[in-house]
Structure 1
Amino acid sequence: MKKTMIALAMLTAGLAQAATTVTVDTAKPGPVINKDVYGQFAEHLGTGIYGGMWVGPKSKIPNTRGWRNDVIGALKKLHVPLVRWPGGCFADEYHWREGIGPRNKRPVKINTMWGGVDEDNAVGTHEFFDLVEQLGADAYVNGNLGTGSPQEMAEWLEYMTSDNKSTLPELRRKNGRDKPFKVAYFAVGNEAWGCGGNMKPDYYANLYRQSATFLKTPPAGRPKLVASGGNDNDTTWTEELSKSAKNMTDGISFHYYTIPTGKWEVKGAATGFPANEWFSTLNATMRMEDHIRNNVAVLDRNDPEKKLGFYVDEWGTWYDVEKGTNAGFLYQQNTLRDAVVAALNFNIFHDHADRVRMTNIAQMVNVLQAMVLTDNEKMLLTPTYHAYEMYVPFQGATTLPLALEGNRKYASGDKSIAQVSASAARGKDGKVYVALVNTHPSDAEEVNIAGVGDRKASARVLTANEMDAHNTFAKPDAVKPAPIAVQASGGKLTVKMPAKSVVVVAIGG
């Protein structure tokens, strides 16, 4: 702890004289932040499931019915509210009947989407629900529109949710589950504009309406239905679906990945990157604000009653894969930069809490911007994991409006972003929580929090000396949260934020 505080003191040295003031209006509560904004994503991709989470009940790695105890224990501390499965692109090649019954009798297929490896279907419907129930999470199931049919999806829902004596629920009981599974969300296809079928918006909308017509469940077991929407700057999917499928869906999905170079061919390295890619990454992730605002404007025009949610069910950083790994496994290291990216996106999602009611970072373990990395029996928590843990109090919290004054710009070339990002909410425990991000890689910043009085407060910070600081199996605690001082004086609170840091302040209660 002493070493940590000394390091923080060094990082806060040379603070600028000017300060940023964050004024919170506690008298005007806004929308509630849906807990599902902190959802996760587990796809049949690389070691994201097999090895990373699922080792099988006979493994020497301690497990509960095949799921690793260490990984499940770590994820439970995040209060994971929701898990999306089985994809992703994999979903549109997945046939659910191949993943039920005795595991030694399930067919072995080729995962043509990711790595061309064998898929033995060891993790199917029952195993997935065992996972979410161990986590205490809800289930988001992605149906197969690309190579499936409305009948296949309808029968899967009946298998999962029916409590009567028809053939499919009886088959579920034969396979070991008496009571229905709880399905919170069910999506009709994934990325229909690309890997899900290379469709046009109006064509997909017709298929969606056809499929949704037959997705019937008992009233108590009805999931929210998700229409597969657009990505990046494209609002045409939201436009089409919010008109033609408005009364048949609960929400429209959206995907956006943060890529340092902006080029899919050479995305940029996860570590050892130059300073300009710290900026380009943060600048790129801040475009999430524009993407959400543009799509929400479409929804507000076509759905003024705000019945439809906007679900960012794939997001996160995407870098070049680590050298020596299977390119189809999307394994990348996770640094302090990723934690800053995550926190910036959390603050954006909070700002649009009335529409953004669910998101799923890609992905939970060993894939893209993961919470956890594993290597056989070894496991570590990433900086992104710690960002999620610090923001746990925002799940189900009530947003509070705020204003920033004196917020400087962090510039690179002719482009710039705000140095400080902030979000405030009243947690379910009654405390006011203020989340702060200092985007600048070398300049610290003093932040005054006004409007909350000078009540008792505590705070934690996530930071490091290097831009690409990360945890390794040899040094798993190189980047982790630490306490940071909060000074109370003159009716305000003051936090001296180190460069490149995430801070969450808890006030009163």
Structure 2
Amino acid sequence: MGSEIHVQQHEPIAEIDPNLYGHFAEHLGRCIYGGLWVGEDDRVPTDDGIRMDTIDLLANLEMPVLRWPGGCFADDYHWEDGIGPREERPTRRNAFWTQGRADIPEEPNEFGTEEFMRVCDLLDAEPYLAANLGSGSPGEAADWLEYCNYDGDTELANRRAENGSEEPHDVKFWGVGNENWGCGGRLSPEQYAEEFRRFATYLRSVDGLLSEQDVELVSVGHIHDDWNRKFLDALSECASFTEGPYDLMEHMSVHRYYEAGSDTDFDDEEYFRLLARSRKVGGDVDNAVDALSVYAPESDISIVVDEWGVWHPEATNTNGLEQENTVRDAISAAGVFDDLHERADVVAMANIAQTVNVLQCLVQTDEEDAWATPTYQVFDLYENHAGGTALDTVVDTDAHEVEDEPYDVPLVSASASAHGDEVYVTLSNRALDSEDVTVSLDEASASVADSAVLFADTEVDEYSRKDNADAFTPGEIDVDENGDGIFEVSVPASSVVALTVEA
């Protein structure tokens, strides 16, 4: 019977924050070393050690924000190890990950704060730093903020200038730890509340007196709702003469990974199971919002999904968490974006894991080349939503039920955003057969100005290699205009379509 999508132009949700299309880079496998940084390796063009073929690909995405240095790595990272002359920097343990594809848990610290800030400058991306709460101290975190943001005459500000950055880095986003319920210290929610108060107090002090940048703090949340509620409840016991306990943060984070079967060897039911599990991202946001509505109903704390994506069983610590990146993975990302757009009023940022070579990466590299993955193409297509107003989008479609999963899989997923006189519509056909889709808008005079399709001629288990990356780029697709703001498009199996509508 086909599927129907109705874009309700007069039912705005909220502006889609460009930071929903954010990224995450951790000192893990070949994400940093070999992906973003090659040092003096002259096999690829570099900018003082930064790998420019990777940068060129990422720059095309207009990356809004980049989270660093972790991840679990962040809670055993001491930032002063990564500044100053590189030849004088110490090699330290990497307590959680190995570098490259070798099982060597060592961190050379060649890539540190200044190198990361240079990457952000090259990408015109906002830096997002995760402070070490697990093995660090509030003073160490406050010192890092002072080093990055203070434009004055202290030892740390002067040290930054000596390291080549006379102007402050003006880092806006600061994570107060990472997964402190797990690798970041295995803290109870009550213990994390105590530590969060300490760290946030000192970071706030540096922000208020030493930084012209309005710093935004991100607390660590959990996908288990009880943890969030216990943390928020314990935080309420904070005594303060200047602000309430929930004024110590602007955002609360959640992380969600999902998988089903092998990265490339999966059957039809595993295909749908992965898509069903990807819907948990939206559910995690809803649960976090519900907890905040109980304990901080007057606050405007928003949700940051600063780690999300597919984590296949092939990605292990001994291979640097590398996995093949397929069309199936990319289609799941399109659905996650649709769910985040639907929640644009409460989600301020999302950061896929990870940027280069690791997990659901957007760019892959070898010693001499860099290329885009299918997920890269979805980001490129969807980022046209950035800064637009999310519109309520009603999808009437069949659903595939997946046994023992809390979510089924609507065969068509979609979202839309308004940009002045244009409406941008994206939709994915998750069915394994083509689907006739009708798209209707409220404005009868609407007409299609542009259209594109991803993965029309590729199988769901196809994955990116340097010799086939062009096969995943967008193609053209025909759209029939029926008048009265109604359009029909035959959407190929397992594909993603974008329509630019003048309305």
Q: Same fold (TM over 0.5)?
A: yes
Q: Which runs of 5 or more structure 2 residues have no equivalent in the other structure? A: 99-103, 237-244
Does the alignment pair 1:212 with 2:204?
no
8 Å CA contact retained: 2:399, 2:410: yes
Give the match for residue 468 of structure 2: 475
1:459 equivalent among 451, 457, 460: 451
Give the match for residue 350 of structure 2: 359
Does the alignment pair 1:409 with 2:399?
yes
What letter is aligned with 2:453? V
Does the alignment pair 1:287 with 2:277?
no
Give the match for residue 498 of structure 1: 492
Give the match for residue 4 of structure 1: none
Change (3 A) 1:237 1:297: closer
Cα deviation 1:375-400 (Å, max 9, x = unaligned): 11122110000000001111111111
Give the match for residue 79 of structure 2: 96
Change (3 A) 1:138 1:378: same
CA distance in 1, matches of 2:8, 2:471: 36
Give the match for residue 12 of structure 1: none
8 Å CA contact retained: 1:91, 1:190: yes
Deviation at 1:122, TM superposition (A): 0.5
Deviation at 1:413, TM superposition (A): 5.4
What letter is aligned with 1:409? A
Deviation at 1:409, TM superposition (A): 1.5
Change (3 A) 1:351 1:269: same
8 Å CA contact retained: 1:241, 1:252: no
What letter is aligned with 1:490? G
Change (3 A) 1:306 1:438: farther
Give the match for residue 259 of structure 2: 259
Deviation at 1:328, TM superposition (A): 5.3
What letter is aligned with 2:400? Y
Give the match for residue 24 of structure 1: 7
CA distance in 1, matches of 2:291, 2:402: 32
8 Å CA contact retained: 2:275, 2:332: yes
What letter is aligned with 1:222? D
CA distance in 2, matches of 1:205, 1:422: 38
Change (3 A) 1:60 1:144: same
Give the match for residue 239 of structure 2: none
What letter is aligned with 2:388? A
CA distance in 1, matches of 2:278, 2:227: 21
Give the match for residue 143 of structure 1: 131
Q: Which runs of 5 or more structure 1 residues have no equivalent in the other structure? A: 1-17, 261-267
Give the match for residue 82 of structure 1: 65
CA distance in 1, matches of 2:95, 2:195: 24
Give the match for residue 385 of structure 1: 376
8 Å CA contact retained: 1:470, 1:478: no
Give the match for residue 306 of structure 2: 313
8 Å CA contact retained: 1:239, 1:299: no
Does the alignment pair 1:302 with 2:295?
yes
CA distance in 2, matches of 1:482, 1:334: 20
Change (3 A) 1:414 1:86: closer
CA distance in 1, matches of 2:70, 2:171: 15
Does the alignment pair 1:224 with 2:216?
yes
Cα deviation 1:209-260 (Å, max 9, x = unaligned): 01111111235223211111112x4342255237534121111110111121
Superposed CA RMSD in Å reads 1.8
CA distance in 2, matches of 1:131, 1:19: 46
1:193 equivalent among 177, 181, 187: 181
CA distance in 2, matches of 1:212, 1:413: 43
1:346 equivalent among 337, 340, 346: 337
CA distance in 1, matches of 2:356, 2:270: 24
What letter is aligned with 1:188? V
8 Å CA contact retained: 1:229, 1:254: yes
Give the match for residue 334 of structure 1: 325
Deviation at 1:302, TM superposition (A): 2.8
8 Å CA contact retained: 1:410, 1:439: no
Aligned residue for 2:57, secondary structure, equals helix
2:143 equivalent among 130, 135, 155: 155
Question: Which runs of at least 4 in structure 1 moved beyond 6 Å after TM superposition?
Answer: none
Change (3 A) 1:210 1:65: same
Deviation at 1:52, TM superposition (A): 0.9
